[in-house]
Amino acid sequence: VGQIPVELIYRNGVLSDLWMNQKSPDFGKTLTPDDITPILNIDEQDIDSRFPIQEVSTGLPFFIVPLKTLCAVQRAKINQESYYNFVRKHNPKLESADSDNVISSAFFIFTQETQDNTNDIHARMFDDYYGVPEDPATGSANGCLLAYLLKYNYFGKKELELRVEQGYEMKRPSLLKITGRLKGEEEIDIFVGGQVQMVAKGEWHR
């Protein structure tokens, strides 16, 4: 990923939000519904076919998967056999992978239906191969989502300011704020922000 600018926002002398400015996106390969439905345990009619299932990277790659309903996103569950068959075919760290067809093992699914009506998007992220069965708040993936929404005119606007809820299925509800502007076909300003909260701490002992 490398170094990226991060802005700290203070209100009344107290740190309120942190915002990172991600690089312009790279849009990669696409998948078909037949590729994705067995991996996520969903039906083809759950997928919003108006938009592609596409790999997007602003430093780290994710497959962005548009679903129609909140129920479909909540129901999604990684099928380990189908997922690892996919990974074995495409992952660069595995000898069996096709080096000309290397793609991401991470899936970011989303819908416009939300649990909290003050939010705009409900999302989940899975990347079991890299030790993340599910993540409650994925800043890098939300930057990719923003780029995707702008490129494909999902909301019919060239500038967006959205609230994304994530982590609800893990009982760790999180809120990420994304804002950006489409400047050219693939030149996009991308900002991802929010707050953080300590969930654990510990010490290393030699």
159: domain CATH number is: 3.10.310.10
In-domain check, residue 199: no
Q: What is the pLDDT of residue 94?
A: 52
Q: What is the pLDDT of residue 79?
A: 98
In whole angstroms, give the CA distance from residue 113 to residue 24: 27
In-domain check, residue 205: no
In-domain check, residue 143: yes
136 CA to centre of own chain: 11
In whole angstroms, give the CA distance from residue 115 to residue 149: 20
In whole angstroms, give the CA distance from residue 130 to residue 127: 6
Q: What is the pLDDT of residue 21?
A: 94
Other CB atoms closer than 10 Å to residue 8's CB: what's the count? 9
End-to-end CA distance of the chain: 31
Residues of the chain by 3-state class (helix, strand, coil), percent to 5: 25, 35, 40
In whole angstroms, give the CA distance from residue 199 to residue 189: 31
Tokens linked to 12: 């009344």
Q: What is the pLDDT of residue 1?
A: 67
What distances in angstroms separate CA 90 from CA 94, 116, 189, one per listed residue? 8, 36, 30
Return phi, psi of residue 89, to 5°: -75, -35
Instruction: Count up the domains in the chain and report the number.
Output: 1
pLDDT averaged over 10-residue windows placed end to end, the chain, 206 residues: 84 88 94 97 98 96 98 98 91 53 89 98 96 96 98 96 98 97 86 86 89
Q: Which domain holds residue 179?
A: 6-194
Tokens linked to 64: 């962005």
In-domain check, residue 202: no
In whole angstroms, give the CA distance from residue 175 to residue 195: 8
In-domain check, residue 113: yes
Q: What is the pLDDT of residue 14?
A: 86
